[in-house]
Structure 1
Amino acid sequence: MDYQKQLEQIKNGSGFIAALDQSGGSTPKALENYGVTDADYNNDEEMFDLVHEMRARIMTCDCFDDKRVLGAILFEDTMEREVNGKPTANYLWEDKNIVPFLKVDKGLAEQMSGVQVMRPIPNLDLLLDKAKNYPVFGTKMRSVIYEPNVDGIELVVQQQFDVAKQILSKGLMPIVEPEVNIDSAEKHDCELLLKADILRHLEYLDEGHQVMLKLTLPEESGFYQQLIDHPKVLKVVALSGGYSRHKACEKLKQNPGMIASFSRAFTEGLSKQQSDKEFADTINTSIEEIYEASKV
C-alpha cells in the first residue's frame, strides 16, 4: 500500500523534504529570484505556467532523486498539472520514489495578538478527497508567530491541531507548521511558549495518530529534542525562514534529528537563464549541502 510505504520512507529514510509550494502571494518573489520578472507574464495563469516550468525543471533533474530527497511539498495548482506526461504527484512517487505532500492552507489572516493564524480553508474536505486521488501522503499548513503572546500562540496551535485532526480523519499525514519569525526580537521566548503548547496538544491526539511538525530553526541547539522523540510525532522538519542556505544548514547541524524542509534556501542560486548543466550543477550543490546537514 502506498501510504504505508511512504510512512516508512519518511520515518526511516535519509534525506530532506523539498518545499516547492510557493502559492499566489509568494510566487512572484520565487520567480523574481529565478530571473523571471513580472514583465514576463500578463496574468496569474501565465505566472503559474512559468513557476510550474521551474518546478518541473527541478523535479526532472537526475540529481533530484530519492537517495537524498525524501519528499516534496506541492501547491494545489502543481498537483493538478503534469510533469513528463504524468500528474505531478504520480511522477514524483512512481518515477522518482519521492513522497508527495500538498500545501492546503489559503494564506494568513491579518496579524493580531502577535501572530497570524491561517485564513479559513473552505472546502478542505473536497481538497483532501482530491489529494487522495493521487499518491499524496500528507499535507502542510502554515501560521506565523511574531511575539511571545500566550493567547496568540495558543490560537495558532489550537487551529493547527484542529485542522490536523480533520486531515488525519481523511487518512493523510498533516505537517503542522507554526513558524516563528526569524526576525522576532523575542524569538526564544516564542519558542518556549510554542513548544509547551505543542506538547500539550499532542496529548489530545487519538491513540495511534501522529503528526509531523515543521518548525523554525531554534535559538537553542537541540531545543526540540522532546518533540523529535515524542511517540505522536512522525518527524520534525525545519523551515529555512529567510536564512541563507548556508546559515540554515549550519543551524540545522546543531539540531540532530531534525531534517530540512527548505523552500527559498533550496532554490537559492537557480536561474531560468542557466544552461541545463549549470542548472543541474547548482541544484545538485544545494541538494548535497542540505542533505549533509539533514543527516547529522
Structure 2
Amino acid sequence: MNQDQKDRMATGRGFVAALDQSGGSTPKALRAYGIPDDAYDNDDEMFKLVHQMRTRIITSPSFTEEHILAAILFERTMDNTVDDVPTAQFLWERKRIVPFLKVDKGLGEEAHGVKLMKPIPDLDKLLDRAVAKGIFGTKMRSVIAHHDAQGIKAIVDQQFELGAQILAKGLVPILEPEADITATDREASEQVLHDQLASHLDGLAEGQQVMFKVSIPVKDDLYADLIADPRVLRVVALSGGFSRDEACERLARNHGLIASFSRALSEGLSVDDSPEDFDGKLEASINKIAAASLT
C-alpha cells in the first residue's frame, strides 16, 4: 500500500470524484453530456465516447489535488490511458489524485427490501491487475430500497465479506450500501444500516481500515461516530439523485462527511462546450462540492 496515498485519504481536504459509470449507467451519463444514444452503434463506441468525456474532466486545469482527493474509475478506464499514460498512473503521478477502482458487476433482483451485488467472477484476478496498475482501493455498490432489517444485514454482510477479500490484497475497500433517497422509510433504514456498519467493524483485524460510501442521511451527523472511528479511513457520500445544489446543502450539514459525486459533479457539462466554458463550469462545480465537503 502506498503510504503517501493513505495519508492523503486519511487527512486530505477535498472530495472524491466518481468517474465510474458502467455499462448500465453510461448511456444516461452520455445523454446528460449531450451525446444521444444514436451517436454510437455498440459498447466499444459507447465506452470510447465516455472515456473521452472522463479524459476531458481529468485533464481539466480545475481538476487538481487542491480539491480532488481521489477518483473512482471503471475497469475499462483503469485499462485505458490519459495522454498516453495509464489512467491510474496519470492521476497519481501528474495530479496527486488517489485512484480507486469500481469492482462490482451490478445488482441482483430485489429481495427483503434490498438489492445485493451480483457475483463478481474472477475478483482475485481483477484485484491483482488493480494492484499492478497502482490502484489504491476499490468501490462496490448495493442498494437498500426500503426498511427491512434482514435485508440490510445481508447487504452489510456481503459488503464486509468481499471487503475482507479486498483487504487481503492490500487494497482499501469502499463499501457502498446506498439507501434509496426516494424511500419513505429511509431514516429507519439508515439507522439499521448505521448499527450494522458499526457492529461489523469489530470483525476487522488489527490495523485494517475500510471506507464507507453512503447516501447523505436524513438525520444530520448520523455517521459522525463512524467518521471518528480509527478503523474507518474516510466516509464519503453519493449525491443519490439530488441536484448538485441540494446535495451540497445537505452534505454541508454533516460534519466530516465528504462528497463522492458522479452525476452532480458533471452536471451542466456539455460535449459542445468550448474549452473555456467546460473548464469554467467544472471549476464552479468542483469549488461548490469542495466547500460543502469542508464542514
What TM-score, normalized by structure 1, do the two folds share?
Answer: 0.99
Provide the rounded CA distance (Å) in 2 between the counterparts of 1:79 and 1:128: 12
Residue in 2 aligned with 1:95?
94
Query: For 2:2, what is the secondary structure of its paired residue?
Result: helix
Residue in 2 aligned with 1:115?
114
1:83 aligns with 2:108: no
Provide the rounded CA distance (Å) in 1 between the counterparts of 2:294 and 2:97: 17
Q: Per-residue deviation at 1:269?
A: 0.3
Q: Per-residue deviation at 1:207?
A: 1.0
Q: Per-residue deviation at 1:231?
A: 1.6
Provide the rounded CA distance (Å) in 2 between the counterparts of 1:202 and 1:184: 26
Q: Per-residue deviation at 1:135?
A: 1.6
Residue in 2 aligned with 1:74?
73
Residue in 2 aligned with 1:130?
129
Residue in 1 aligned with 2:183?
184
Q: Per-residue deviation at 1:134?
A: 1.3
Provide the rounded CA distance (Å) in 1 between the counterparts of 2:245 and 2:35: 24
Q: Percent identity?
A: 53
Provide the rounded CA distance (Å) in 2 between the counterparts of 1:106 and 1:243: 24
Residue in 1 aligned with 2:34?
35
Provide the rounded CA distance (Å) in 2 between the counterparts of 1:204 and 1:232: 10
Amino acid at match of 1:206: A
Query: For 1:70, what is the secondary structure of its paired residue?
Result: strand
Provide the rounded CA distance (Å) in 1 between the counterparts of 2:18 and 2:119: 22
Where structure 1 has 5 or more consecutive residues not aligned to the other structure, the ranges are none
Provide the rounded CA distance (Å) in 2 between the counterparts of 1:208 and 1:80: 30
Residue in 2 aligned with 1:221?
220
4+ long deviations beyond 4 Å: none
Amino acid at match of 1:96: K
Q: Per-residue deviation at 1:178?
A: 0.2
Provide the rounded CA distance (Å) in 2 between the counterparts of 1:98 and 1:231: 22
Residue in 1 aligned with 2:230?
231
Residue in 1 aligned with 2:251?
252
Residue in 2 aligned with 1:171?
170
Residue in 1 aligned with 2:148?
149
Query: For 1:52, what is the secondary structure of its paired residue?
Result: helix
Q: Per-residue deviation at 1:146?
A: 1.2
Deviations 1:122-167, CA, capped at 9 Å, x for gaps: 0000000000111210000000001110110011000000000000
Q: Per-residue deviation at 1:204?
A: 0.7
Residue in 2 aligned with 1:55?
54
Query: For 2:272, what is the secondary structure of its paired residue?
Result: coil
Amino acid at match of 2:120: I
Worse-superposed segment, 221-230 or 52-61 = 221-230
Q: Per-residue deviation at 1:230?
A: 1.1
Provide the rounded CA distance (Å) in 2 between the counterparts of 1:147 and 1:193: 11
Q: Per-residue deviation at 1:290?
A: 0.3
Provide the rounded CA distance (Å) in 1 between the counterparts of 2:222 and 2:20: 27
Provide the rounded CA distance (Å) in 2 between the counterparts of 1:67 and 1:152: 39
Amino acid at match of 1:194: L
Residue in 1 aligned with 2:44?
45
Q: Per-residue deviation at 1:121?
A: 0.3
Q: Per-residue deviation at 1:55?
A: 0.1
Amino acid at match of 1:148: H
Query: For 1:261, what is the secondary structure of its paired residue?
Result: strand
Q: 1:13-32 to 2 correspondence within 5 Å?
A: 13-32=12-31
Amino acid at match of 1:172: L
Amino acid at match of 1:93: W
Residue in 2 aligned with 1:286?
285
Provide the rounded CA distance (Å) in 2 between the counterparts of 1:195 and 1:222: 11
Worse-superposed segment, 222-231 or 51-60 = 222-231
Provide the rounded CA distance (Å) in 2 between the counterparts of 1:112 and 1:249: 32
Provide the rounded CA distance (Å) in 1 between the counterparts of 2:191 and 2:283: 36
* Root mean square deviation of aligned Cα: 0.6
Provide the rounded CA distance (Å) in 1 between the counterparts of 2:182 and 2:94: 39
Amino acid at match of 1:290: I
